[in-house]
Structure 1
Amino acid sequence: MKIHLKTLAVFALGLGLFLSSCASPPNTIVLPTAASTAGSPEITLDLEKVDDHPLYVLRYTGDYRFDEYLQTGRRPNLQSFLPVAHGRWGCTVFATLNPAGEQLLGRNFDWEDHPTLLLFTAPLNGYRSVSMVDISYLGFSKTTPITDQNRSQLLTAPYLPFDGMNEKGLAVGMMALSDIQPVSDPNKVTLGSLAIIRLLLDKAATLEEALALLEQYNVDFSGGPVVHYMIADASGHSAVVEYGDARREQPARYVFSNEQPWQVSTNFEFAPQPPTGADSVCWRYNLAYETLSEVDGKLTQPEAMSLLKKVSQPSTLWSVTYNLHSGQIEISLRQNYDQVYRFQLEMEQ
């Protein structure tokens, strides 16, 4: 299915962009409208259904106007197409090297059984990237599939990356934490928690660049869980980034860089000091840490998927691994590790 749409004409309809979380109804904003659509570029949505989970692949070509959003950060209002139950869930993210010295990032997203989208984007003023999207936050479900009548809701998919990798080998994953009130600078634009991931995928080539970008923006977690991020780049560097709590007079953010050829993070705070070894409150963290320690952080991409299997839960919606050098993506859905889908992002390093 290939769809062609006029960029400004579509966004002038006031479609909401969901910018919040993976555990509750997302926030929404409305992009700036245009006085005229004359000469506006086309957006092309090339959609393929891969399996009956369903897993879709969407190749999104055109301007989703993220640069305009970055100028204002428009304060989101809570809105949702569907009710989403609150519940317990957890995610696991790790960065490691394969035997060839290529950086990998693996992630389990543990949540409800929702339709899933693998999204390829090629922005006019940013890096090509691939990301995973839970499209229940665009109004789709197992009983509400993508149709000719509702497919325009896919236009907002670039604002909902739950994890991803760009053509420079920069990858990002997120994990939920306990509630905080992030430190806010009135002189900075405020972005939603998922828009932060889009910012890094579109604009950062290295961990250093990613950290510099994060310094320029506030983050808004309203309407969803607080999250922290793992960011990794093709050079083998990674870091866990957490936001401080203004109520406890903490700094705006903490950065915990990898001290070994691997790094693991789950759903507990590293601040003020990360755990020593495999001695944490989370069994998934401990098991992943022990496994990576035993092999000195060297896993092939299939072995990385096997590690995700070991730390998966009945609620694991997807397991994904990214090769930050080759651009290969491997995906397993709902703990069906006998069926691994492979895709390719064209890299430019």
Structure 2
Amino acid sequence: MTPSGPSRRAFLLGVPAAATAACATGHPAASPASSDEERSLATLRVVDPALPLLSMTLYGPYDVWRPLALAPPRAPFACSLFAARHGPDGPVLGRNFDWDPNPALLLTTRPPAGPATLSMVDLSYLGVGRDAALRAPRDRRVARRLLNAVRLPFDGMNEHGLAIGMASLPSPALPPKLPGRPTTGSVRVHRLVLDRARTVDEAVAVFRAHNVDFTGGPPLHYLVADRDGDAAVLEFVDRRLSVVRGADGWHAMENALLTGTGAAGRARHRRYRIMADRLRATGGGLGTDAALALLRDVQQSHTRWSAVYRLRDGVLHYTLNREHARRRTARLAG
């Protein structure tokens, strides 16, 4: 049976249920905004009213461990991800986020210490629905709620060329629960990786240094890739972290475990088979256009965004709601 109430809302962040029960849902207390917050809120824009998608640049420091109460998920995530090493644009991480039609935020962070990052956030987990998202640039109360989006990157890339994304798993995952390690939620761990890692090995070290809590939400696995072309899928099996390394210049995953599954078993899953066949045929040599075309070929009826993170030049190419003729671009530089 799926938990309800605060324990269900806590899974993304790994916050104790008692703490989430005491928090206001998704927005800071009514205290004066700092100068950094004011500067950040001034950048808030509606990029596309159809999804809708907003954008914002967050300036200044933030507390990644700040507790949040979150709206509960309604169904498991279903996503497709791949890494390709040898394309003309350098290594890329491609990702379809397949989920409910909720508003989203393209968030740039520029902290005084630590790397700049680009990430995509599902705003429904902050209690922001479609109507609220559209009025956020002129609604102070909603806009301030979006300051918390920094803790919820559903996929992203940092200025060092390290990218990460996740997909759900249909079977239970059993992360280790080791004493002395801080506990993080299944999406907050993305923020820790983006803030602290430059390479796949460093991303693995972040996972090993924390207990990841799936309480109240679907079990997840993760794809990480870096600017040198290394890639790995991180999964939890029997209370251990399993690191499945990419080979032959590519990696791919969708909603099935890779650990302990051979090539034939993986190929039984249609989206994985399409990605693997294309990546194998090209030796991981996909440019931006080819990567977006592959995401189009594995999209589902509920694909909300398709993103190609270019890891050497910090450029994100993305499309919304399966409208591949309308490509958008975001850059970490500048």
Q: Same fold (TM over 0.5)?
A: yes
Give the whole-Å Cα distance in 2 for the aligned partners of 1:138 and 1:233: 29
Q: What 5-or-longer segments of structure 2 have no aligned partner?
A: 1-8, 25-30
Deviation at 1:141, TM superposition (A): 1.6
* SS across alignment from 2:87: coil
**Identity value in percent:** 34
1:17-56 deviation per Cα after TM superposition (whole angstroms, max 9, x unaligned) = x76449xxx997569xxxxx99x76323221111112111
**Quick one: which of 196, 205, 224 aligns to 2:217?**
224
Question: Cα 1:267–1:60, aligned 2, differ >3 Å: closer, same or farther?
Answer: same
Residue 310 (1) aligns with residue 307 (2): no
**Structure 1 runs (4+) greater than 4 angstroms displaced:** 26-31
Give the whole-Å Cα distance in 1 for the aligned partners of 2:19 and 2:302: 26
- The letter for the 2-side match of 1:117 is L
The structure where helix makes up a greater share of residues is 2
Deviation at 1:217, TM superposition (A): 0.7
Q: How does 1:16-55 map to 2 (within 5 A)?
A: 20-21=11-12, 29=20, 42-43=36-37, 44-45=39-40, 46-53=43-50, 54-55=52-53
RMSD between aligned alpha carbons? 2.7
Aligned residue number for residue 4 of structure 2: none
Give the whole-Å Cα distance in 2 for the aligned partners of 1:27 and 1:267: 31
Contact 1:98 1:301 in 2 (8 A): no
Deviation at 1:148, TM superposition (A): 2.3
TM-score by length of 2: 0.84
TM-score by length of 1: 0.81
Contact 1:64 1:155 in 2 (8 A): no
Higher relative contact order (CA 8 A, sep 6+): 2
Aligned residue number for residue 256 of structure 1: 244
The structure where strand makes up a greater share of residues is 1
Residue 91 (1) aligns with residue 75 (2): no
The alignment covers a number of residue pairs equal to: 306
Question: Cα 1:197–1:342, aligned 2, differ >3 Å: closer, same or farther?
Answer: same
Residue 159 (1) aligns with residue 151 (2): yes
Give the whole-Å Cα distance in 2 for the aligned partners of 1:279 and 1:204: 29
Give the whole-Å Cα distance in 2 for the aligned partners of 1:233 and 1:80: 30
Give the whole-Å Cα distance in 2 for the aligned partners of 1:27 and 1:320: 36
Deviation at 1:97, TM superposition (A): 2.6
Deviation at 1:326, TM superposition (A): 1.1
Question: Cα 1:28–1:300, aligned 2, differ >3 Å: closer, same or farther?
Answer: farther
Q: How does 1:56-75 map to 2 (within 5 A)?
A: 56-66=54-64, 69=65
Aligned residue number for residue 163 of structure 2: 171
* SS across alignment from 2:251: strand
Q: What 5-or-longer segments of structure 1 have no aligned partner?
A: 1-17, 32-36, 247-251
Residue 241 (1) aligns with residue 231 (2): no
The worse-fitting range, judged by mean Cα deviation, of 190-199 and 95-104 is 95-104
Residue 149 (1) aligns with residue 141 (2): yes
Give the whole-Å Cα distance in 2 for the aligned partners of 1:85 and 1:217: 26
Question: Cα 1:143–1:28, aligned 2, differ >3 Å: closer, same or farther?
Answer: farther
1:114-159 deviation per Cα after TM superposition (whole angstroms, max 9, x unaligned) = 1111100122332110001011111212233322232110111011
